[in-house]
């Protein structure tokens, strides 16, 4: 399928190591995928769902010890320990290759190796990058088909001589938890993943390549690989402005990316378009502005909680050609279910472990991290620019987390440098909503804590450098918090589609069409500048509460930031300490 000697010799090496019985190159054709689907069904790895209700859909169950990403077994194997930084697990590359080499030795005996060439980013885009993943899992092949542009075209994109491709080796081996490793070798463009079959650990194009390896490439090549959704807001005149937004895992990125504007906006003709829900690759364009693509081709979304109200667009995306993993299998009509889908009582079903289950049982039916892998083209609000080779121009960058009290609904940074500070102090709290208790703060700078492939101090520096290059073309930077609680532990802000009201202010700020007030933490809207027309539970007083900046809490916050920053030692850019100093000064 290719003449590229770099690819061929690397695949030969992997074959010699893992010793499969057969090697199959994935060309991406419908016939090949159909045959592989049938084979996967025949070996019991997948089952076909109801062809009328869910055409082309499949259900899969992972091993019960293998249901999520394993951060404690995820390593950055850089030559110097210091280069992985304090937020990553580091492993000496030679030792990692030795140890994993023994585990991979013969791990595909009796199995077939599938060679998957894929492109992250649209074929033909100068933003895009090619990877080759070899795996012994058909589940991986079929998921990669949805999540990436896979097959012959990706090899064409690479060309006959280039050596610039990410080498991904995956084997399920024995799904042995004790020997599960997800290792990244940024200096070698290489990822080795063994003993897992769970998406985030084995779909190597996603977190492993598009974030961990790509963030390292971006640092060296002058661009950014970010854990961000990208959405476009179309105004009634048909003009579209794009926002990129970073939130930690499980803070509603997919929901925001596919937001349905509230009635008062929809009536006027506002629309929201989804470009991506998880990852953005961002570069400075020829015009000096920031441009972003979504390197993925599908959504690997969390199923529980997805429903007609929370995210009708995501739900619609799962109605055909989708793979469901670890959800409830309803046997009567051969469809799927998960907690929060609807209130229908479920009988005659299998839970995510494959055991008989009904909704009267105390135990949950779907795993809380059960997933759908759905093609992006299924999404009713997918952007026309989704496949655009040049990406979309970014007007605003938004950071956010789950904070009970500290962070207001929205604020804007004073400038790019201050915005990098705002991103660097991003945090989420675990909240015990019922009792109103506030939990532990977990800092997650730019939502990249588990995904930055190098020292985060250098990552902050890279962000600051991008800002210097952008100058006055830099997008505005904001922070939002949809999760503010009242004293009884109830969410104050309705969230979901009503987040449009906040995005509206953000866009107006970018266009110089909205006022703001200066607070110690940044610019805030005047309470009356957030449109609350048609909202039953939010009045001006509540808006004031949502925007309140509690100086005592922020002083505590500043102390927490000092603690957190200590981790980065002398690799923390002095600009961020300056910003912390300025914040403390403004707090008085
Ligand atoms: C994801 C994650 O799966 O962030 O997107 O964990
Ligand atoms: Mn994510």
User: Read out DSSP for 496-556?
Assistant: GGGGHHHHHHHHHHHTT-S--EEETTEEE--GGGS--TT-SS--HHHHHHHH---HHHHHH
Higher per-residue pLDDT: 351 or 436:
351
Q: Is 278 close to ligand 1, i.e. is its CB under 6 Å away?
A: yes
Q: State yes or no: pLDDT of 437 exceeds 80.
A: no
Tell me, what's the pLDDT at 96? 98
Q: Given the CA of residue 278, which atom of ligand 1 is nearest to it?
A: 5
Domain membership of residue 308 as a residue range: 298-378
Per the domain annotation, does 51 fall within a domain?
A: no
Task: Specify whether 510 is located in the same domain as 539.
Answer: yes
The residues near 153 (Cβ < 8 Å, ≥ 6 apart) are: 28, 119, 123
Task: Specify whether 242 is located in the same domain as 100.
Answer: no
Q: Is 276 close to ligand 1, i.e. is its CB under 6 Å away?
A: no
Tell me, what's the pLDDT at 436? 46
Task: Specify whether 413 is located in the same domain as 357.
Answer: no
The residue contributing the CA closest to ligand 1 atom 1 is 249
Q: Over the stretch 469-489, which tens digit does the pLDDT of each residue have?
A: 999 999 999 999 999 999 998
Q: Which residues are catalytic?
A: 251
Per the domain annotation, does 52 fall within a domain?
A: no
Per the domain annotation, does 514 fall within a domain?
A: yes
Supply the CATH number for residue 28's domain: 3.40.449.10
> For residues 265 and 477, what is the distance between their CA atoms, to the nearest angstrom?
24
Q: Over the stretch 350-396, which tens digit does the pLDDT of each residue have?
A: 999 999 999 999 999 999 999 999 999 999 999 999 999 999 999 99
Alpha carbon of 249 to ligand 1 centroid (Å): 5
- Testing ligand 1's pocket by substitution, the residue of 67, 69, 225, 248 carrying the most ligand atoms inside 8 A of its CB is 69
Give rounded-to-5 percent helix, strand, coil for the chain.
Answer: 35, 25, 40
The residue from 363, 378, 393 where one domain ends is 378
Q: Over the stretch 321-331, which tens digit does the pLDDT of each residue have?
A: 999 999 999 99
Terminal CA-to-CA distance of the chain, rounded, Å?
66
Tell me, what's the pLDDT at 471? 98
Task: Specify whether 213 is located in the same domain as 330.
Answer: no
Per the domain annotation, does 57 fall within a domain?
A: no
The residue from 222, 248, 266 where one domain ends is 222
Buried b (16+ CB within 10 A) or exposed e, 346-362: beebbbbeeeebeeeee
> For residues 396 and 399, what is the distance between their CA atoms, to the nearest angstrom?
10
Q: State yes or no: pLDDT of 438 exceeds 60.
A: no
Q: What is the mean pLDDT of residues 220-236?
A: 98
Three-point CA angle 150, 153, 157, nearest 5°: 110
Tell me, what's the pLDDT at 433? 42
Q: Say what the pTM is.
A: 0.97
How many domains does the chain fold into? 3
The residues near 325 (Cβ < 8 Å, ≥ 6 apart) are: 59, 60, 61, 62, 199, 370, 371, 372, 373
Task: Specify whether 392 is located in the same domain as 245.
Answer: yes
The residue from 222, 250, 278 where one domain ends is 222
Per the domain annotation, does 179 fall within a domain?
A: yes
Supply the CATH number for residue 335's domain: 2.170.8.10
Q: What is the mean pLDDT of residues 102-124?
A: 98
Per the domain annotation, does 62 fall within a domain?
A: no
Q: Given the CA of residue 249, which atom of ligand 1 is nearest to it?
A: 4
Tell me, what's the pLDDT at 435? 43
Task: Specify whether 248 is located in the same domain as 343.
Answer: no
């Amino acid at each position: 399928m290719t003449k590229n000697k770099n690819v061929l010799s690397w695949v030969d090496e992997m074959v010699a190591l893992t010793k499969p019985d057969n090697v199959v190159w994935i060309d991406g054709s419908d016939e090949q995928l159909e045959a592989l689907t049938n084979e996967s069904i025949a070996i019991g790895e997948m089952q076909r769902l109801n062809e009328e209700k869910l055409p082309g859909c499949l259900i899969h169950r992972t091993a019960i010890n293998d249901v999520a990403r394993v951060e404690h077994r995820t390593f950055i194997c850089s030559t110097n320990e210091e280069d992985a930084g304090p937020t990553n697990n580091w492993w000496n590359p030679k030792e990692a290759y030795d140890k994993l080499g023994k585990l991979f030795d013969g791990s595909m005996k009796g199995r077939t190796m599938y060679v998957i060439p894929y492109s992250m980013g649209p074929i033909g885009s100068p933003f895009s990058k090619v990877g080759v993943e070899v795996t012994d899992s058909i589940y991986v092949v079929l998921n990669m088909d949805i999540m990436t542009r896979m097959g012959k075209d990706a090899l064409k994109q690479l060309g006959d001589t280039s050596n610039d491709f990410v080498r991904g080796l995956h084997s399920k081996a024995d799904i042995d938890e004790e020997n599960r490793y997800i290792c990244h070798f940024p200096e070698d463009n290489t990822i080795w993943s063994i003993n897992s079959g769970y998406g985030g650990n084995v779909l190597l194009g996603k977190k492993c390549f598009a974030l961990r390896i790509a963030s390292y490439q971006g640092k060296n090549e002058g661009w950014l690989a970010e854990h961000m959704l990208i959405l476009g807001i179309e105004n009634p005149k048909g003009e579209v402005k794009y926002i990129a937004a970073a939130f930690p895992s499980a803070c509603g990125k997919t929901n925001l990316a596919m937001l349905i504007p509230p009635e008062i906006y929809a009536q006027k003709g506002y629309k929201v378009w989804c470009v991506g829900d998880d990852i953005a690759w961002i570069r400075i364009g020829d015009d000096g502005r920031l441009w972003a693509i979504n390197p993925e081709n599908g959504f690997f979304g969390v199923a529980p909680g997805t429903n007609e109200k929370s995210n009708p667009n995501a739900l619609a995306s799962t109605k055909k050609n989708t793979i469901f993993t670890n959800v409830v299998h309803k046997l009567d009509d051969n469809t799927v279910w998960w907690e929060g889908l609807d209130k229908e009582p479920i009988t005659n079903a299998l839970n995510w472990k494959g055991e008989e289950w009904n909704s009267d049982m105390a135990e949950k039916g779907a795993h809380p991290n059960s997933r759908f892998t759905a093609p992006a083209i299924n999404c009713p609000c997918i952007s026309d620019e989704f496949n655009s080779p040049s990406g979309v121009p970014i007007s605003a960058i938004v950071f956010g987390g789950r904070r009970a009290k500290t962070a207001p609904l929205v604020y804007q940074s004073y400038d790019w440098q201050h915005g990098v500070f705002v991103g660097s102090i991003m945090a989420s709290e675990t909240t015990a909503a019922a009792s109103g208790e506030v939990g532990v703060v977990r800092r997650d700078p730019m939502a990249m804590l588990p995904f930055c492939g190098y020292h985060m101090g250098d990552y902050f520096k890279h962000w600051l450098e991008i800002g210097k290059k952008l100058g006055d073309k830099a997008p505005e930077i904001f922070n939002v918090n949809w999760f503010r609680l009242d004293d009884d532990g109830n969410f104050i802000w309705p969230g979901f589609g009503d987040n449009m009201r906040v995005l509206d202010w953000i866009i107006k700020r970018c266009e110089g069409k909205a006022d703001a007030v200066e607070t110690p933490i940044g610019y805030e809207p005047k309470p009356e500048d957030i449109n609350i027309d048609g909202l039953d539970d939010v009045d001006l007083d509540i808006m004031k509460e949502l925007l309140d900046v509690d100086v005592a809490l922020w002083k505590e916050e500043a102390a927490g930031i000092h603690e957190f920053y200590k981790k980065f030692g002398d690799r923390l850019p002095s600009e961020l300490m300056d910003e912390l100093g300025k914040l403390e000064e403004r707090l008085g």
